[in-house]
Amino acid sequence: MPSPLADPVKLPCGLVLPNRLSKAAMAEMLAKNNKPNDTLSDAYERWSQGGWGCILTGNVQVDVNHMGSPFDPALHSEYTGKDAALLEQWKKYADASQKHGTPTIVQICHPGRQSFRGAGKRGMFAPTIAPSAVPINIGTGLVERAIAAVAWTQPREMTRGEIDTVIRQFVDTARLMADAGFSGVELHAAHGYLLDQFLSSKTNRRTDEYGGTPEKRARFVLDILTETRKVVPANFAIGIKLNSADHSSDTFEETMTQIALLASAGLDFLEISGGSYEDPRMMGHSTSAKAQVSDAKSARTAAREAFFLEFAHTVRERHPDLVLMLTGGFRSRAGAEAAINDGACDLVGIGRPAAVDPKFPLLLLDEQVADEDAKLVLEKAPVPWYAKWLPRSLIGAGAESTYYAGQIGRLAKGLATYAPAL
């Protein structure tokens, strides 16, 4: 019996994804001069051969002065549509990504207050920008405060003129991606980046038309979505990424209000990340396939994943026609099928396995491969020896990103890739 993962999915804009498996966004760390290059294109050409229903790129920053990573591609200046050399750079990237027919969607981003010192061209001591001047807090200990002071400058509240500028930068970036031949863009409104900062009451304390209520906090993202739709082709997809971990039960209804506004504004898909559907037992499904998630989860992790499930199911119940992608911990056919069969999503986002096996979908969709063999087990990425002196939250995330960026680099060079070893 064919897997439901093989079903095509049609987005509201008319773009058809040939199956439900999406290569999720990951940091590539390959754009040394913040421009697309042959190495980046080579990595995406490998993924284009992998049988994915959709490919999501890593971050493309909308302003080279404010970067989330020193090695992300970015928009360097206003895009007028008349720069042939610029367009050719991006067209080469788009062509490589879609060489074998897989639609590729570009994740576009502004880090806001999370722009590291030295990441971008604004200078080491220039402030970051944010909806409100709320500094980053990674902990109250001496080490945490010292790391924060070294890593980030103090943010300042954006003026209305700066809000208009950043909206234009998002729109310019989306138009450049459309002109280059990509199939769509995804607005990165997760992981504490600028769009997420506007949506959240923790970081948005404005009292003007861009803050104060859930609806006003959503206006910045809605303006970007509305203005982008005006300048791209009708069949160009516009999605958005949210992370359940960026929200809480206390603000649950506020988040649902914002999602309703986005859905009514012409959103093509919503990606929800966080948590895991990898263990089918948590939905009451058969446990014949070996679980990929340890039974010995902490109470905190279990609570986080329970909220992830509630978040996904509530969005589905309230917006049955909204195309949903879930990303977070998928490692097997059984886990991916459980998410689809549970009715929680239409698309399954797969990240780290894609960096180790760019053709992972071909394994999951091969009916000759038994369920127990249609998987890729991944251990935790190794951490450096000095990790014990640094906050666990930073080291864990940094070690994972660095490890898999290294695998993407190997993939781009045509070298063998490796899963983390015990």
Q: How many domains does the chain have?
A: 1
Residue 418 included in any domain? no
Residue 126 included in any domain? yes
**Residues 77-86: tens digit of each pLDDT:** 999 888 899 9
Residue 196 included in any domain? yes
CB 374 within 8 A of CB 363: yes
CATH number of the structural domain spanning residue 220: 3.20.20.70
What's the number of CA atoms in the CB half-sphere (13 Å) around residue 294? 8
Cα separation, 326 vs 323, whole angstroms: 10
Residue 417 included in any domain? no
Residue 421 included in any domain? no
Work out the end-to-end distance of the chain between its first and last CA atoms, rounded to an integer number of angstroms: 36
Count the Cβ atoms, other than its own, within 10 Å of residue 163. Answer: 20
Helices within 13-74 (DSSP H only): 38-48
Residues ≥6 apart with Cβ < 8 Å to 417: 355, 356, 357, 407, 410, 411
Residue 419 included in any domain? no
Residue 311 included in any domain? yes
Can you give the pTM of this predicted structure?
0.93
Residue 422 included in any domain? no
Cα separation, 16 vs 266, whole angstroms: 17
Place of tokens 């409104």: 189
Full residue range of the structural domain in which residue 242 is found: 4-412
Cα separation, 53 vs 103, whole angstroms: 7
pLDDT tens series, the chain, 422 aa: 789 999 999 999 999 999 999 999 999 999 999 999 999 999 999 999 999 999 999 999 999 999 999 999 999 999 988 889 999 999 999 999 999 999 999 999 999 999 999 888 998 899 999 999 999 988 878 888 888 888 889 999 999 999 999 999 999 999 999 999 999 999 999 999 999 999 999 999 999 999 999 999 999 999 999 999 999 999 999 999 998 877 777 889 999 999 999 999 999 999 998 877 665 444 444 433 434 444 445 676 677 777 788 889 999 999 999 999 999 889 999 999 999 999 989 999 999 999 999 999 999 999 999 999 999 989 888 877 666 666 655 555 678 889 999 999 999 999 999 999 75
